[in-house]
Amino acid sequence: MTNRAHTPNGHGTEGLLYEEPTLFEQSAKGRKGICLGKADVPEMKMGEEFGSLVRDKAPDLPELAEVDVVRHFTRLSIQNYSKDLGFYPLGSCTMKHNPRIANKAAAMPGFTDTHPYQPADSVQGNLELCYELENMLAKISGMDSVTLWPAAGSHGELTGMLMIRAYHTSKGNPRSKVLIPDSAHGTNPASAAICHYKVQSIKSGPDGLLDPSAVEEAMDEEVAAIMITNPNTLGIFEENFKKVADIVHSKGGLVYLDGANLNALMGYVKPGEIGADVMHFNLHKTFGTPHGGGGPGAGPVGVVKELSPFLPLPRINKNEDHYNISYNSDTSIGRINTFFGNFAVLVRAYTYIRELGATGLKEATEMAVLNANYIRARLSGTFNLPYDKPVLHECVFNDKIQNEFGVKTLDIAKRLMDYGFHPPTVYFPLIVSGAIMIEPTETECKSILDDFCDAMIAIAKECEKDPDLVKTAPHHPFRRRIDEVKAAKEMCLKD
C-alpha cells in the first residue's frame, strides 16, 4: 500500500494503492459469502442425463466472504480512470459525457421488463420508439431509410457493405473492388474484405484531403464502392466529397460514408444530400450513450431509396397508429443481429435526440468544432501540426519538435498521466508519423481544455530541459512504464 502521489495539477485520484491479488489468491478454505438452504426438489443424477458433459468434480472456485468480494472489486474500480473522473481526449473515439437522463430512460421498467418474443401488440411503445428513431436518424443524415439493428459501428460497416454487394448482385455483377482512402477509419478495409472485396487504397493529397483525380484514375466498372470517413481521421472535412461521389456514381459505384464523426456535421451537413448512398451512425459516440469497456454499442445504417429493399430484417412498419413487424423480404440481406439489436442503447440515443432537439444538436456540433480548434490554436507551435489547417472535431499533432530532444509520442503520452490526464490517441492515423490525436468533444468546458493544454505545454518544456524525466514517465500513477510489446508476446496467465 502506498500513499497518493502528488500530481502537478491535482487532476485524477490515486488514493491508497494496493497491489491487488486475484480472487484465487485471496481464497481461504471454508469461507463463504452465501448460505443456501436445503433444496426442496429431488436431486438429479446429472451423469445419467448429460453423460460426458458433466464434470468429474466441482470446479475449483475461490472461497470468499461477501466482504472479500466487495472490497476486491471496489479496489479494482478505484484504479480505473473513467469519463466520470475526468477528460478523455481520445481522438477518433469521441469519449464524451453520457447524460444521466438517457440512462434513466433506458432503465424505465416499461423498457427493461419487455421480452423480444412478446407479441407486437404488447410492445407498441418499444416499436414506436424504434420507428421514430429511424426517422430521426434519416432526417439528420439526409438518408431515406434506416436500420437500427447493427450492434456497433464496425457491424454497421459490415451491414452497409453487405447491402452494397446485394445491390450490385441484383444488377448482375457484385463487382470486385472497394476504394478506401488512407485517411479512413481502420475498420473500413476489414469490412470490405469480409464481404469478399479487394481493397484498393487511395493516397491522400498533400493537404490531407482525398484527391478527385486519384479517385478518377482508380475508378472503373469493377469498383463496387468507395468508403470515405468524413470528417477524415485528420479531423479535416473532405471538401471534395461531392465531386468524388459524382465520379464514383458515373461508373455505377456507390459511396459509403463512415459516420463515426457525425458530431462534427449535425445540423450543418446531411451526407445523403452530398452524394452518400450508405452510412452508419455510432450511437455510442454521437448520441451520448455509454462508450468503452467492450460495449454495448449500436451502429444503425442509413441508405438511399435505391438500397432500401436490401435493408436487414425485421422491418418495423406503421399502419395508422399501429406498429407491426415484418420478417419477410425477397431482397433483404436477412438478419444481422438477434431480435432488435442493443435496444437499451437505442433508448438512450432516442432520449438524447429528443432532449436536445434540432437546435441542441446543431449547438453540440458547434461546440465540438470550437473545442477542437481551440486546442489546435493553443498547442500549435509547441507541437508540430503536419496538416496546418482548420479542423472540425479533432486535431492531429506529432512529435517532430520533441524528437530533437530524443522524446517520442509515447513518452509524451506517459508523462501526461503524471499530470492527471488520460493520454490522447497515439500513433493514429497511420499517415502521420508519431501522431498525437486529440478530440475534446463538445462536453468539455474551457477551463478543462486550458488545464490540458497547460499540461501539454509544460511537458514540451520538460522535453527541452529534462528529457529523461519525460522518457521515464509516468512517475505517479499506480502502474509505471509497461512494456506493451512484451506483455502482448509473453502473456502471464494464471490458472
Degrees (nearest 5) of the Cα angle 86, 92, 94? 40
Share above pLDDT 70 across residues of the chain, in percent, rounded to a whole number: 94
User: For the residues 124-145, what does the mean pLDDT come to?
Assistant: 98
Confidence of residue 7 (pLDDT cuts 50, 70, 90): very low
Whether 4 has a pLDDT exceeding 60, the answer reads: no
pLDDT at 56: 73
Helix (H) or strand (E) holding 202: strand 198-202
Q: Is residue 127 part of a domain?
A: yes
Nearest Cα residue to 318 out of 149, 143, 133, 150: 133
Q: Torsions phi, psi of 466, nearest 5? A: -145, 70
Whether 373 has a pLDDT exceeding 50, the answer reads: yes
Residues 327 and 419 occupy one common structural domain: no
Q: How many domains does the chain have?
A: 3
pLDDT digits (tens, 9 = 90+) for 427-454: 999 999 999 999 999 999 999 999 999 9
Higher pLDDT, 118 or 58: 118
Rounded to whole angstroms, the Cα distance separating 287 from 306 reads: 27
User: For the residues 146-160, what does the mean pLDDT come to?
Assistant: 96
Residues 159 and 250 occupy one common structural domain: yes
Nearest Cα residue to 214 out of 173, 244, 257, 251: 244
pLDDT at 325: 96
Is-contact 223 175, C-beta < 8 A? yes
Residues 373 and 344 occupy one common structural domain: no
Whether 13 has a pLDDT exceeding 60, the answer reads: no
Burial of 448 (0-12, 13-18, 19+ CB in 10 A): middle
Residues 350 and 370 occupy one common structural domain: no
User: For the residues 13-41, what does the mean pLDDT come to?
Assistant: 80
pLDDT at 17: 55
User: For the residues 254-265, what does the mean pLDDT come to?
Assistant: 95
Residue type, 364: A
- Bridge-based pairing of strands 435-438 and 425-426 is antiparallel
Rounded to whole angstroms, the Cα distance separating 47 from 19 reads: 42
Residue 197, domain CATH: 3.40.640.10
Range of weakest confidence among 84-98, 112-126, 205-219: 84-98
pLDDT digits (tens, 9 = 90+) for 72-81: 999 888 887 8
pLDDT at 307: 98
Share above pLDDT 90 across residues of the chain, in percent, rounded to a whole number: 77
User: For the residues 151-161, what does the mean pLDDT come to?
Assistant: 95
Extract the C-alpha cell encoding 248: 464514383
| Average pLDDT across the chain, whole number | 91
Rounded to whole angstroms, the Cα distance separating 459 from 383 reads: 11
Q: Torsions phi, psi of 209, nearest 5? A: -110, 160
Q: Is residue 47 part of a domain?
A: no
Left (φ > 0), alpha (ψ -120 to 50) or beta: where does 134 sit? Answer: alpha
User: For the residues 452-459, what does the mean pLDDT come to?
Assistant: 98
Nearest Cα residue to 279 out of 310, 248, 254: 254
Confidence of residue 292 (pLDDT cuts 50, 70, 90): low
Is-contact 218 211, C-beta < 8 A? no
Among 329, 355, 381, the domain-final residue is: 355
pLDDT at 47: 67
pLDDT at 212: 97
pLDDT at 3: 34
Nearest Cα residue to 410 out of 429, 423, 401: 423
Residue type, 448: I
Confidence of residue 293 (pLDDT cuts 50, 70, 90): low
Whether the CA torsion 151, 154, 155, 156 is positive or negative: it is: positive
Q: Which of 14-23, 186-195, 291-300, 302-311 has the highest mean pLDDT?
A: 302-311
Residues 342 and 389 occupy one common structural domain: no
Residues 252 and 291 occupy one common structural domain: yes
Q: Is residue 345 part of a domain?
A: yes
Whether the CA torsion 458, 461, 466, 470 is positive or negative: it is: positive
Whether 147 has a pLDDT exceeding 90, the answer reads: yes
Rounded to whole angstroms, the Cα distance separating 137 from 141 reads: 6
Q: Is residue 426 part of a domain?
A: yes
Residues 190 and 253 occupy one common structural domain: yes
Residues 427 and 314 occupy one common structural domain: no
Strand spans (E) along 19-58: none
Extract the C-alpha cell encoding 210: 482525398
Residue 382, domain CATH: 3.90.1150.10
pLDDT at 208: 94
Residues 260 and 163 occupy one common structural domain: yes
Residues 306 and 383 occupy one common structural domain: no
Contact residues for 180 (Cβ-Cβ < 8 A; gap 6+): 188, 189, 192, 199, 200, 201, 202, 226, 227
Whether 183 has a pLDDT exceeding 80, the answer reads: yes
Whether 315 has a pLDDT exceeding 50, the answer reads: yes
Q: Is residue 33 part of a domain?
A: yes
Helix (H) or strand (E) holding 110: helix 109-112
Rounded to whole angstroms, the Cα distance separating 420 from 451 reads: 10
Extract the C-alpha cell encoding 434: 508519431
Q: What radius of gyration do the chain's Cα atoms show?
A: 26
Among 288, 323, 355, the domain-final residue is: 355
User: For the residues 154-170, what does the mean pLDDT come to?
Assistant: 97
Rounded to whole angstroms, the Cα distance separating 187 from 295 reads: 16
Residues 110 and 150 occupy one common structural domain: yes
Among 306, 323, 355, the domain-final residue is: 355
Strand spans (E) along 304-446: 315-319, 322-326, 395-398, 425-426, 435-438
pLDDT at 484: 80
Residues 147 and 207 occupy one common structural domain: yes
pLDDT digits (tens, 9 = 90+) for 378-424: 999 999 999 999 999 999 999 999 999 999 999 999 999 999 999 99
Extract the C-alpha cell encoding 74: 471496489
Degrees (nearest 5) of the Cα angle 167, 170, 174? 70
Confidence of residue 476 (pLDDT cuts 50, 70, 90): confident
Q: Note down the domain range covering 480.
A: 364-489
Q: Is residue 4 part of a domain?
A: no
